[in-house]
Amino acid sequence: MNLFLLDIDGTLVDSAEIDQHCLTLAIEDVLGISTDGNWSQYQKVTDSGIIDEILLKNNISESRSIIHRKVEARYLKCIREYLYNNPSEMHEIKGAKKFIDQMQGREDTHIAIATGAWESAAKLKLQAVGIDTSNITFTSSSDAMSRTEIMALAAFRAKQDTGETFDRRVFFGDGEWNKNATQELGYDFVAVGTGVKHHTQIPNFTHYQSVFSQLSL
């Protein structure tokens, strides 16, 4: 049995640019702190991990949970405003929805979302491009702070959902932080797009068969 774990921004949804804009805006509006949106400089490249590191670096003593809720609410408002004003501007990464539908139809494969985004915004972006998450194992930055924790929790939940033991765990993602986390966990990694280099790489999901042969899937 195979477990396919999928990131969202830049992997399933072409939303990395608006995601960066809305998160930097939310941080500035709530905390009064300007950030350049270069998330790779953070130790834990997830929404909750980035906020925690900013709080630590700036010696902010207000309740962590309250600040997280405030930033998430402002971030979510920004995403909703963008979708309202640009209803046709958010797109799936080519072939993503068809890939998920096809993999869900296979008896030897289970699909799980393992995203560094907060659950509320992650599901909103997937809904905007027509990807239904109702029957997909889902883990996000609302559940854990680091990429490795999110991926490991997604695998645990997938086992609970299916009752299966997975022979292969394959993560599809677009960032160096994804690649590093899969190496730490011993998962296979498929790079989507051009954001990170890897020996198993696809430009989008219309080409997924090319890596299946490399991974012997």
Summarised one tens digit per residue, pLDDT across range 163-177 is 999 999 999 999 999
Q: How confident is the model at residue 94 (pLDDT cuts 50, 70, 90)?
A: very high
Confidence label for 197 from pLDDT (cuts 50, 70 and 90): very high
Structure tokens at 47: 């929404």
pLDDT of residue 176: 94
> How much of the chain is in helix, strand and coil states, percent to nearest 5?
50, 15, 35
Average pLDDT over residues 45-68: 94
pTM: 0.94
Position of tokens 């774990």? 5
Range from 8-12, 45-49, 103-107, 212-216 carrying the lowest mean pLDDT: 212-216
Task: Quote the pLDDT of residue 214.
Answer: 85
Give me the mean pLDDT over the 17-29 stretch: 95
Beta bridge partners of 173: 191
Phi, psi of 201 (to 5 degrees): -145, 140
State residue 88's pLDDT score.
85
- Average model confidence (pLDDT) for the chain? 95
- As a whole number of angstroms, the distance between CA 132 and CA 39 comes to 28
pLDDT at residue 16 is higher than 90: no
Q: Which is more confidently placed, 6 or 209?
A: 6
Report whether pLDDT(89) > 90: no
Residues 6+ apart with CB under 8 A from 171: 5, 6, 7, 114, 151, 178, 181, 182, 187, 188, 189, 190
pLDDT on residue 212: 87
The pLDDT of residue 87 is 85
Quickly state the pLDDT bin for 98 (edges 50, 70, 90): very high
Name the one residue in this structure whose structure tokens are 């960032």.
175
- What pLDDT was estimated at residue 210? 86
Q: What pLDDT, on the 0 to 100 scale, is given for residue 37?
A: 86
Q: Compute the average pLDDT of residues 199-210.
A: 92
